[in-house]
Structure 1
Amino acid sequence: MELTGFDQFIGEFELVAPSGRVLQRSLVDFQTWDRYIHKLDKAFERLPMRRVKKLMAFSWSSRDFTAGKHRELKTNCSQLEQWIRKAFDHLPSKMQESFVDETLYTALKNEARTRLEANKTAKDLGQYFSPTTSINMLLDVVFALPIDVKNTLFLEPSCGIGNFFQPMIDRGVSRILGFELDPEVAKKASMINSAISVVQGNFLESSRQDNLTDDVIVIGNPPFSSSGPSDIVLDFFSHCAIEWKAKVIAFILPERCATDAYVETTRLVLGHVAYTCHHVAAIPDSHFDFKGTRINKPSSIVVFTRIQ
């Protein structure tokens, strides 16, 4: 593997593979190698980032060295080239093949790009899903209240993949309405039980049907983001109370939403429709699922009940 240049405009190094094929590859590729090899062999030399940064300061070609230009880069180029050769030899055959084969390389890059875009969308939509342990802790508090399950609509305003549905069904709930903004996620949630109604749309734009006379109990794990013109958690509380006239609003929320100051702010937001804070408690071993990865994040259950 020969290092023959760097194009600052596209941010890629030029290499010549043993087959003679010219390759354009990014720093991310070498960083991926570095992390992979370091996990397997702590003694292996790390990617020489100081030299890499100097080599990325402007565009150059190994032909410049022959012409007497950029002599200060020659040693850096030689050292990085040695590292690339050694690192390449340490890679499994599949990683080697996907690096030198243009079709495989492009396919992997497209997959990575799609995955990053999906993760960004999930983060923007606050798709951190609650585990069953946290859900049951919340349901224990709700079902200790004097509620008529048969004559109550249980509303999940940001249902995600439907993690709350089965635990509620297990407690005798038969009427569940869920809202989910993401079409693909809503589709997954709707497949859990045909009796559950899942609406693909923005809960904050929803409205209670005029002919709905039963009590509404809201249970869920709304998006946590506090960015933007307003606090979305407070927006959810407000919409549940004003539009849906919920008898109970029970949420799993981040730690910041369980402070005395935040609870008081929530009470003031709901004050004109007369709600009281019924229960606040930290969740032990609090965590969420994000795209199949466990995310440890302190959280609490917060329950407000309507007093008139």
Structure 2
Amino acid sequence: MKNKEPIILIVVIFFSLVTYYLVEPFAHGVMHKHVESENFEYKDLPALTKSGNVANGQELIVNAGCVGCHSIEKAGMPAPMDPVMAAQSYGVNPPDISEAGAIYDARFLAELIKNPAHALKVEHKFDESKGQMHPMVPFYGMGGDIDQEVADMVAYLQDLAVSPSEVTPKMAFENACGRCHAVGYENWTQIGTKPEFKHEKDALAFDIKVLEYEESLTKYMGKLPPDLSMYTRSRSEDFLRTFIENPQNHLAGTAMPRVGVTADAAEKVLEYMKDSGDTKRHERESIGKNVMIYLVIFAFFAFLWKKQVWRDLH
């Protein structure tokens, strides 16, 4: 009996580590096929070959009709419709594009302006030859060099936006994902954060708007996109990252579009999802280290105490 306790402790620690570092990741790997990341480079899209003119881009954004669907709150241009009415018209509420230049890749933005269905990888759903037009109207140019005009529009969006380092996880998620996905744990709905209402009738009126929006979204997508509150607890981080990058690599034919975010914005989307799915994770990680230190110290003194108490019997 003399040396069995340390052996038992080593066995318990060994199998705990095997379960945590090998079995659980293996289970995720079996449940979700591994997809190599494309590093958010969007190499299937044409590169921008021209330098953009910000002033001309601003004029084009307004005159080309972008503000007929999109708001630019930072420039004092409100949304032309409320989210529910917009979803009834387009299937989903078009995003505010104030920070688009910091959240989305430049190649993606350029192709999105010229050919939305191709940029979003939903050409299987919107086939022009069959009269299935994407709700976002392609930009056909304003009479000049269309590549230059598109470069100007992208330059304006990048100049208007905050620097990429200033994009918060909440900002990245809400702009790129939050018009289709709710996050109940954060009180986020597809039409915005649900306020705290003084009167129940006002809360019910808000819920009705959410339901109306979801009805339009379901018709547009084929099914209601899931609430993402717990997705980081049920999916591996690699799966989520590559799914955000290109959903077709995981689910060929899915109605979910490629959102075109930069690598940095994608990490911030994941950060938001991890925080919403595990609100105490930073606190727990900090406490966990202290608990492990305590257990090591406790085990050491427990061992010394055991030797002292049982010294006459060994």
TM-score by length of 2: 0.20
Q: Which has the higher contact order (CA 8 A, sep 6+)?
A: 2
TM-score by length of 1: 0.20
Structure (1/2) with the larger helix percentage: 2
Point out the structure with max Rg over C-alpha: 1
